[in-house]
Structure 1
């Protein structure tokens, strides 16, 4: 692979909270993988925790999307208020660029697909590569997306972690546990374009021009760190009352962080059964693309197949 150039920007929270030694870990890791990294000029701005005013963050995003020497656009991480930028994004020269992120970046990657028809990616931000113990699966899946690999089958890895590694001395060690096997809640098979990401971000787009079109799509839903049952039920009710589950081709839920009540499979199945009783479309659980590690890189707007039977998996077509 020829070396590629990554623009790291901050569309939501500021990178200013990250110490330089942590940033250096990410730079070295990406350099070894074959990437040169440049930063947007406003990544360290701090306006109540956000990376500057709207115009600052938008300037960095539009620079990254339109610069001829940039191959990949990668926000530092999520946070809040990426959606504030959507009405000012200039996609005129996006061309073959890869845009990748998750969490609050859900709004941007779904908007790219909706407005340009191009695939964007639900996957790791720059901060993930700053983890000295980043999982092999996270790296491998990202590189497969960079290389344009297809016919890739996504199933559960052996282990997972959702500890706060970045506040530990020397940023580790990680607390790895067994990853739950991908499992069917409702059996079936569906093909379609993949949309979705973090539930609370998707719901924040309701009644705006940027609300996601869910019709006949395979829907990925995952939640932020430490989601409680009560909050999750509130979000599920909103999706249900919107008629989203009636309109999609199938639903797959990302792995919950280990500190969430919903990481307990019996609790998760009990709650989900309230919304999918007698549902005639595939619903699967424990997809490894969420706020837990590893995070696989998935194509928003790309063709996928969801299988939910005795086994469950997602295939990138």
Structure 2
């Protein structure tokens, strides 16, 4: 049984469970606040958001306490970090997972590690999607903006998202567009071994999820038994920094750990990290994985560090379809 948070208000908590924002970039937060205000939301910034030292916003205990406090604050309707980082893993032992109530947390990159463990440990859905600073533009692009439709949906409802028309090849931080991104390249979803798959969504940034393999924070089998009633998992991954051989090693480790024992498909977001190594490409890895698991592998979807991105809900029932390079994701908030 999956439980879904209910968005009932417009007051959002901003905390930095991984990296905070250094002083020279505080303008990004002010821009985001102005944008959210125009959309009718209020943002409550926690102290960690404004600081950054030694690769993190604050000591692990401070970050964990701040995040936990927002969860238990009934005035906070949704939690959204400013962005990701590298050391969210330090929080995992400092959080009392069983005490956390249902509340939407939205983010990606290092934040996806929290989302993944939160859903595995509690059976509560979480939203893998854009972060706060990427929503600071004068307008939200058609793909990223669907985050609000997703977290506003009620249990039993369905949300349909379509693949983007174009994606961003490279960041131009000094020259942001009205919606921050520069969407210049035609989007093309690709597939191997089938053009559609159905299952319960689960995943995140593979760079950080891999560190839960074989730990109490990556007990996929128990989650599947206790919360999914044995339904297959439709995995999704986005890759921030792993090279191609590291990606292959990680996927094999996941298989050996039983993560793919009952899966209906594997989805991969676009990645700028997967440069070929001696002719060995990410497409080679996808083909080998498809042959190994005999399930559809769908890649270059709108997910992760190459924007824009859809909002994928860990725990939701989902069907994904690809036709002529176009894609459709149908998510139903099934208990």
TM range (shorter): 0.7 to 0.9
1:283 corresponds to: 297
Compute the RMSD of aligned alpha carbons: 2.8
Q: 1:15 to 1:195 in 2, by over 3 A?
A: same
1:144 corresponds to: 149
Matches of 1:42 and 1:118, distance apart in 2: 25
Give the one of 97, 102, 110 matched to 2:103: 97
What are the within-5 Å matches in structure 2 for residues 113-152 of structure 1?
Answer: 113-131=119-137, 134-139=140-145, 141-148=146-153, 150-152=157-159
Q: Give the TM-score, by structure 1 length.
A: 0.86
Q: 1:16 to 1:282 in 2, by over 3 A?
A: same
- 298-307 or 7-16: which moved more? 298-307
2:167 corresponds to: 160
2:260 corresponds to: 245
Q: 1:118 to 1:101 in 2, by over 3 A?
A: same
Matches of 2:328 and 2:143, distance apart in 1: 16
Matches of 1:218 and 1:306, distance apart in 2: 9
Offset, 1:9: 0.4
What are the within-5 Å matches in structure 2 for residues 191-270 of structure 1?
Answer: 191-213=198-220, 216-224=232-240, 227-257=242-272, 260-261=274-275, 267-270=281-284
Partners of 1:99 and 1:121 within 8 A in 2: yes
Matches of 1:39 and 1:112, distance apart in 2: 22
Q: Give the TM-score, by structure 2 length.
A: 0.82
Q: 1:153 to 1:268 in 2, by over 3 A?
A: farther
Matches of 1:241 and 1:83, distance apart in 2: 22
- 205-214 or 117-126: which moved more? 205-214
Matches of 1:132 and 1:234, distance apart in 2: 41
Matched, 1:31 2:37: yes
Matches of 1:72 and 1:40, distance apart in 2: 13
| Aligned positions, number | 310
Q: Give CA deviations for 1:187-239 in whole Å, capped at 9, x if unaligned.
A: 164432211011111101122210151652110011115x5333333333333
- 4-13 or 112-121: which moved more? 112-121
5+ long unaligned stretches in structure 2 = 1-6, 225-231
Structure 1 runs, 4 residues or longer, greater than 6 Å off: 170-173
Partners of 2:129 and 2:311 within 8 A in 1: yes
Partners of 1:188 and 1:280 within 8 A in 2: no
Partners of 2:195 and 2:298 within 8 A in 1: no
2:288 corresponds to: 274
Q: Give CA deviations for 1:52-91 in whole Å, capped at 9, x if unaligned.
A: 1111111210111111100001111111121221233245
Partners of 1:158 and 1:179 within 8 A in 2: yes
5+ long unaligned stretches in structure 1 = none
